[in-house]
Structure 1
């Protein structure tokens, strides 16, 4: 996914957070928005403190877990589990591009 984001324009700056804890993809968007994105294969994903701590460090405005689930559902700690297709549609909408089919 991060390779696709790299080609989506200069208004999206992808990066990574690595150290004692990590975030799979940080996406800096216009308007001082920072999306922390973690990818999980499970349809019922969980995350550890290793995701929460760096999210606090970078002041993530969204904490997203991309999973194999078919729909969004609530998680604790302000984390949004989002299917990959839904996330891609949101990113395209931010750029003003039509929906994926």
Structure 2
């Protein structure tokens, strides 16, 4: 997590809200990050399901509860992305959807 709750609170106490943006770095533990004061999302899963992730994020910011179907859909998307290497998964899924984004090279040293 880019910063803990106390760090976000300390920064917010010294800055006006519009001077600094607080981005949650990805969807993992997103609800917790929002409770700390993050209100923007640098989304990884949004690359494959931008509308779904945007609606989910906006709903979390507004305190709206998702229905069971939405929870299942979000869970499936997050599992597809975060099961293993997120970048490899995003590129694979985008390629399958017809967006030619190439493949990831093997890690250096392997």
Instruction: Report the TM-score when normalising by structure 1.
Output: 0.28
Q: Select the structure that is richer in helix.
A: 2
**Structure whose alpha-carbon radius of gyration is higher:** 2
Instruction: Report the TM-score when normalising by structure 2.
Output: 0.26
Q: Select the structure that is richer in strand.
A: 1
